[in-house]
Amino acid sequence: MGRYTKHPFWQSLAVVVVSYALIRWGIAYLPGLVGITSAPVPASVVLQYTAIVLVGVLVWVSDNEERWTRFKEPIHAALVEPDKKVVRMSMMAVVPLLVAFATFNNVRPTISAPASLRSIHPAPPTQITFRGETIVLEGLENPLREPDLEEAAFELGKELYYQNCMPCHGDYLNAGGHYAPGFNPTPLELRGSSTIAQLTESFVFWRIAKGGPGLPREGGPWNSAMPVWEDFLTADEIWAVTLFLYDQAGIAPRTWEEEGIEE
Amino acid sequence: MRSQTRLPAAVAALLGLSALHPSPAGAQDVERGREVYEQWCSQCHGSEGDGQGPAAEYMIPRPRDFTTGLYQIRSTATGELPTDEDILRIINEGMPGTTMPGWEEELSGADREALVAYIKTFSQFFETLGAPEPLEFPGAPGASEERIAEGRLFYDSIQCFECHGAEGRGDGEASSTLQDDLGNPIRSADLWKAWTFNGGSTVEDIYQRLRTGLDGTPMPNFSDLIDAGFMTDDQLWNLAHYVRSLSPEETPTPEEVIVVGQVAPGELPGQLADERWGQAESFYVPLVGQIIENPRWFDPSVDGVWVQALHDGSEVAFRLTWHDRSRSPDPGWLEWQGWVLDAMAPREGENLEPAPRPDGITVQFPPTIPEGMDMPYFLMGDGSNPVYQWQWSSVPGTAVKAAARGLDIYEPLGAEGLTSEAAWEAGRWQLLLRRALVPADPASELQFEIGVPIPIAFFAWDGDNSEEGARGSVSSWYFIQLEEETPPSTYMAPLVAFLFTGGLGVLVVRRAQRRDREVQAAAAGIVLPPEPRPQMARNFGFAVGALWLLFALAAAGNSVGGWAAGQTDVGFWWAVITGFLTIAASVALIGTARHRYQGPRKS
């Protein structure tokens, strides 16, 4: 065993294999531990990171003449020694087959939808025109978040949400509405720490007021089913729904101080 | 209070079971139940539990009115109260086919238990009548062809078709006359869509509905008839098996890309009834109410369309299949239209009166295949980006082409080159649409290309459900992709890669071995005899040359094929590749032939 663990060739091989496994599966596993939804690591990232590890390993083994010679030993042995004939022959069969298979996978015609590169949180405009009136979004707070207005606003927002928004965004604000499976991209989940919890209320106001068609190009306005709510609701009603969303989901909006803008 | 913490599902299930045994709900339970109810249930079911929350009018069927003690899904006999477990099950799993979601993952076991206790306080019957007993059933017999065939006969003999239709698609004679106990319109279940069954989709669920009936709806129970000896339990199980057999095992899920299969030239099915459609893969596209632009519609009738598509290299044909309870306009449904229009909020827009309206479906594409990710707005385009449409309507019954720039803003493009055939039978529309890949007018119409994803979206209307204009059901963008023949290069490239890598391997090994021999010989002071004349290498050279020549011939074939198909770019680039391969082959052949062996290489 020690023959392998102390040998630079097998050490290098182990480092590369373990790094690949960590990059491929380990990174994707981490967010789940703290309750954030995860996604597979893109193949290009895996390739890039593994290549960096490989270069690092090669620099390390070739840094020292003796280590470099020892590193080459198993490779040389596999190439020339008569008793390694089986290893040699199987490598010469397996490697070209793998290369051929990879080539086939690359060139065969596949059926898949084109990659959608839409931005989920596009940059908001500094001001919008709401029903002919200019509203400056920067530094804007929810006018209904006042002690004497909040309760009535919550009740109004609740009523409006369940009449208008629930079919897509769901009873539990978890994008689980009965119309949600009909749309792609799927409606935004409103609870949790990763969506509106990261946004100011003015951003949410803008998104509700202008809907899908009001998205900038990078947001993919052609495929969003979010209605333009200024056609249906008044500004106060949209602020009431905004307030309700945060309170019902039990999260707080991002403030302008956090954004680094003084009021 | 049993527990304050969020419990794992297994423990929650145990708690649910324990709820079977009558135990007086604590005041604490009821108080917690009230809080949860106010936060998550009152919007639809109302703070008073009367099913008249602020959102109730946006839903058909309406949310349950808890004050009457009348429950649709129970394990108890008709007219009886549900058990605690029955109520908990609906809270946990929701009611498929309605707006009621499941809460098993969302609320803790203790909260859901507390909700059961609180919901029961809305009706005095739970206190006065005592705990109900669930009906005892024998276990389900296994499904078999015979049982299903028997069930089919029994379906006819007890006249299920009156409401559910001859083939079970919910299109029976009486289906336009159905109301629930509150006077709201109610649709008979479409038995081909088990995933929309309010009480669940298993054979056991279906059987239990047959035994208990759906209280508050026109669906009767059959326990009385069994007790009276008019039918047997076994016959009812056969019926349950038949009903289950109408739906697919799994709920259909949409695929982002609809594959347009390739058939031999001239083999494209020209008619709806063509048997070859049976082999074409079917793709499900869910449709939901158009609730985006005014006037919105929260009660759509068409909830999905199955798409089959084939092409033969010069034409493309689609067969669309969707369920619709009537062939609109049908005067028998005018009264139904009135009920639906009265019941549904919001009452936006005009033409909110019952009227003879046709059924329809529109298939939309972008006018040209998008280069990047940009597409026209999925809801029939907008002022700057139109969509190209095929609009079909049951009146007059043919399809026409159009360019749309928003809901109901379109410019007709005639019907030239677009063939259609439609048939309505037993609650189902089928529509065949066929057009050449190259359009009559390339300036305004989409040209289909092979092997490229092309956006597609749908919009459907059920006229007898008062749908027209913006009131209908929609899908977002999907893609179709016309299958392409696998080009020979697909097999050639891996072969080349294999030979190249293998050859490289042989070279590396031979070099390493020769050097090793030389090193050892030098160490021992031996002079190696000269290498024999490498006949092997000569043969190898000729073999490589011949192989390149073969590739060159294949490339030339591709090139000629490309020119012949009118794809000049394909023809041109394969010609270039042919040129390079020919040069490579000649160099290998001539070089090997002219090469004279001059003894081992000196180093």
Residue B478, H or E segment: strand B478-482
Q: Cα–Cα distance between B491 and B368 in angstroms, integer?
A: 32
Nearest-CA distance from B509 to chain A in Å? Answer: 5
pLDDT, tens only, B392-439: 999 999 999 999 999 989 999 999 999 999 999 999 999 999 999 999
What is the pLDDT of chain B when averaged over all its residues? 90
Instruction: Please say whether the beta carbons of A166 and A244 come within 8 A.
Output: no
What SS3 state is found at B548?
helix
Residue B529 confidence (pLDDT): 67
List all residues of chain A from 183 to 222 with a beta carbon under 8 Å from chain B: 183-184, 211-213, 217, 220-222
Predicted confidence (pLDDT) at residue B46 exceeds the cutoff of 70: yes
Question: CA separation (Å) from A230 to A180, A253, B416, B521?
Answer: 22, 21, 41, 90
Separation CA A212–CA B291 (nearest Å): 13
Calpha distance B473→B469 (Å, rounded): 10
Closest chain A residue by Cα to residue B373: A116
Residue ranges with strand state E in B1-127: none
Is residue B508 over pLDDT 90? Answer: no
Q: For residue B16, what pLDDT is reported?
A: 45
pLDDT digits (tens, 9 = 90+) for B224-246: 999 999 999 999 999 999 999 99
Binning pLDDT at 50, 70 and 90, where does residue B148 land?
very high
pLDDT in tens, B116-127: 999 999 999 999
- Interface check for B509 against chain A (CB to CB < 8 A): the answer is yes
Which of A107, A221, A232 lies closest to B489 in CB terms?
A107
Q: At residue B596, does pLDDT exceed 80?
A: no
The pLDDT, as a whole number, for residue B413 is: 94
Distance from CA of A144 to the nearest CA of B (A): 20
Q: Nearest to residue B200, comparing CAs of B268, B263, B247, B261?
A: B247
* DSSP per-residue letters across B160-217: THHHH-TTSSS--GGGGG-B-TTS-B-PPP-TT-GGG-TT-SSHHHHHHHHHH--TTS
Q: Omega into A143 within 30° of 0, i.e. cis?
A: no
Q: Assess B369–A contact: CB distance below 8 Å, yes or no.
A: no
Select from A73, A86, A162 the residue whose CB has the most chain B CBs within 10 Å, as the one to mutate to test that interface: A162
Cα dihedral: A216, A220, A225, A228 (round 10): 10
Query: Which DSSP helix (H) or strand (E) runs through B360?
Result: strand B360-365
Is there a shared CATH topology between the B9-128 domain and the B145-245 domain? Answer: yes
Measured CA to CA, the distance from residue B385 to residue B378 in angstroms comes to 10
In this predicted structure, what is the pLDDT of residue B26? 74
pLDDT band with cut points at 50, 70 and 90 for residue B3: very low
State the CATH architecture for B260-321+343-482. Sandwich (2.60)
Task: Select from B291, B294, B374 the Cβ nearest to the Cβ of A231.
Answer: B294
Q: Domain ranges for chain B, please list them.
A: 9-128, 145-245, 260-321+343-482, 492-529, 533-603
Mutate to test the interface with B, among A119, A163, A186 (most CBs of B within 10 A): A163
Q: What is the ipTM of this complex?
A: 0.81
CA distance B132 to chain A (A): 30
Angle B489-524/A65-80 helices, nearest 10 degrees?
Answer: 110
Backbone angle region of B537, left / alpha / beta, with phi > 0 → left and psi within -120 to 50 → alpha: alpha
Interface test with B, best of A179, A208, A210 (most B CBs within 10 A): A179
- Backbone φ and ψ for B197, nearest 5 degrees, come out as -70, 125
> What's the confidence (pLDDT) of residue B24?
53
Q: What letter would DSSP give residue B400?
A: E
The answer on pLDDT for A80 being more than 60 is: yes
**Which candidate from A102, A211, A225 shows the least CB-CB separation from B476?**
A225
Asked if B206 and B197 touch (Cβ cutoff 8 Å), the reply is yes
| pLDDT surpassing 60 at residue A211 | yes
- pLDDT at residue B353 is higher than 80: yes
Q: How far apart are CA A228 and CA A233, in angstroms?
A: 9
CATH architecture, range B9-128: Orthogonal Bundle (1.10)
Residue B525 has pLDDT above 50, yes or no: yes
- The B residues from 22 to 41 touching A (CB cutoff 8 Å) are 39-40
Judging contacts by C-beta atoms under 8 Å, the chain B residues touching residue A220 are: 373
- Residue B199, number of CB atoms within 10 A of its CB: 23
Could you tell me which chain B residue has the CA closest to the CA of A250?
A: B39
| DSSP result, B292-356 | SSSSP-S--S--EEEEEEEE-SSEEEEEEEEE-SS-SS-GGGHHHHHHHHHHPSP--SS--S---
The pair of structure tokens assigned to B481 is: 């992709």
Distance CA A168, CA B339 (A): 25
Q: What is the dihedral of CA B87, B92, B97, B98, to 10 degrees?
A: 70
Structural domains present in chain A: 2-107 (no CATH), 127-249 (1.10.760.10)
Nearest-Cα distance to chain B for A79, in Å, is: 5
Amino acid at A100: A
Interacting residues of B202 by C-beta distance below 8 A, sequence separation 6+: B244
Q: Are B422 and B450 in contact (CB under 8 A)?
A: no
Contact between chains at B373 and A108 (C-beta distance less than 8 A): no
pLDDT of residue B223: 93
Quick one: chain B helix, strand, coil %, rounded to 5?
A: 40, 15, 50
Does A68 lie at the interface with B, CB-CB under 8 angstroms?
no
d(CA B156, CA B166): 8
Q: Give pLDDT, residue B25.
A: 60
**Cβ contact (<8 Å) for B43 and A178?**
no
At B600 the pLDDT is 58
* B15 contacts: CB under 8 Å, gap ≥ 6: B2, B7, B109, B110, B113
Q: How confident is the model at residue B291 (pLDDT cuts 50, 70, 90)?
A: very high
The reported pLDDT for the residue numbered B1 is 37
HSE at residue B167, side-chain half, CA atoms within 13 A, is 12
Q: Taking 60 as the threshold, does the pLDDT of residue A81 lie above it?
A: yes
Does B82 score more than 50 pLDDT? yes
The answer to whether B494 contacts A103, with C-beta atoms less than 8 Å apart, is yes
Residues in Cβ contact with B463 at an 8 Å cutoff, skipping those fewer than 6 apart:
B328, B329, B356, B357, B358, B359, B360, B394
> Would you call A117 and B373 a contact, using CB atoms and an 8 Å cutoff?
yes
Q: Looking at the predicted structure, is the pLDDT value of residue A35 above 90? A: no
State the amino acid at position A42 in one-letter form: P
**Using an 8 Å Cβ cutoff, are B433 and B400 in contact?**
no
Long-range contacts of B99-107, Cβ-Cβ distance < 8 Å, separation of 24 or more: B99/A166, B99/A167, B99/A178, B99/B44, B99/B59, B99/B63, B100/B44, B100/B63, B101/A170, B101/A171, B101/A172, B101/A176, B101/A177, B101/A178, B103/A172, B103/B40, B104/B9, B104/B12, B106/A172, B106/A174, B106/B40, B107/B36, B107/B40
Distance from CA of B513 to the nearest CA of A (A): 5
Residue B489 has pLDDT above 90, yes or no: no
Q: Is B256 near chain A, with CB under 8 Å?
A: yes
Structure tokens at B270: 């020209």
Interchain proximity B516–A182, CB inside 8 Å: no
Nearest to B386 by CA among B360, B413, B349, B359: B413
- What does the alpha-carbon distance between residue A13 and residue A200 come to, in Å, rounded to a whole number? 49
Lowest mean pLDDT among A110-119, B18-27, B195-204, B370-379: B18-27
Partnered with residue B262 across adjacent β-strands are B311
Q: Name which residue leads in pLDDT, A121 or B152.
A: B152
Provide, rounded to the nearest whole percent, the portion of chain B with pLDDT above 70. 93
Distance (Å, whole) CA A73 – CA A66: 11
> What is d(CA B110, CA B7) in angstroms, rounded to the nearest whole number?
8
pLDDT band at B159 (very low <50, low <70, confident <90, very high): very high
Closest-CA residue to B452 (of B473, B479, B434, B412): B479
Residue B219 has pLDDT above 90, yes or no: yes
Q: Cis peptide before B346, with omega less than 30 degrees from 0?
A: yes
The chain-wide mean pLDDT, for chain A, equals 90
* Cβ pair A96:B490 closer than 8 A: no
Report CB contact under 8 Å: B288, A183: yes
DSSP letter for each residue of B420-457? EEEEEETTEEEEEEEEESS-S-TTTSPPP-BTSEEEEE
> Which of chain A's residues have a Cβ under 8 Å away from the Cβ of B346?
163
The confidence score (pLDDT) of residue B533 equals 58
pLDDT of B256 over the 50 cut: yes
User: Nearest-CA neighbor of B98 among B193, B197, B184, B192?
Assistant: B197
Please check whether residue B197 is in contact with residue B93, taking contact to mean a CB–CB distance below 8 angstroms: no
* B59 Cα to chain A: minimum distance (Å): 9
Report the half-sphere exposure of A61 (CA within 13 A, side-chain side): 21
Q: Which of B375, B486, B497 sits opposite A222 (nearest CB)?
A: B375
Between residues A137 and B26, the one the model is more confident about: A137
> Which pLDDT does position B5 carry in this prediction?
40
How many interchain CB pairs under 8 A, A with B? 162
Look up residue A22 and give its DSSP letter.
Answer: I
B251 — contact with chain A (CB < 8 Å)? no
CATH class of this structure's domain B145-245: mainly alpha
Angle made by CA atoms B272, B278, B279, in degrees to the nearest 5: 125
Q: Which of A66-80, A110-124, B29-43, B163-177 has the lowest mean pLDDT?
A: A110-124
Average pLDDT over residues B209-221: 95
Residue B603 has pLDDT above 80, yes or no: no
Chain B: residue nearest A232 by CA?
B294
Distance, in Å, from the CA atom of B394 to the CA atom of B423, rounded to the nearest integer, reads 9
Do A190 and A244 touch, CB atoms closer than 8 A?
Answer: no
The pair of three-digit structure tokens given for residue B315, joined into one six-digit string? 């034409």
Among the listed residues B381, B252, B448, the one whose alpha carbon sits nearest the alpha carbon of residue A223: B381
* Lowest mean pLDDT, pick from A224-238, B195-209, B315-329, B554-568: B554-568
Pick the closest to residue A100 from B547, B491, B550 (CA basis). B491
Phi, psi of B544 (to 5 degrees): -60, -45
pLDDT in tens, B443-470: 899 999 999 999 999 999 999 999 999 9
Contacts 24+ apart (CB under 8 A), B21-29: B22/B130, B22/B131, B25/B117, B25/B120, B26/B1, B26/B117, B28/B1, B29/B1, B29/B113, B29/B114, B29/B117, B29/B118
Residue with the bigger pLDDT between B10 and A70: it is A70
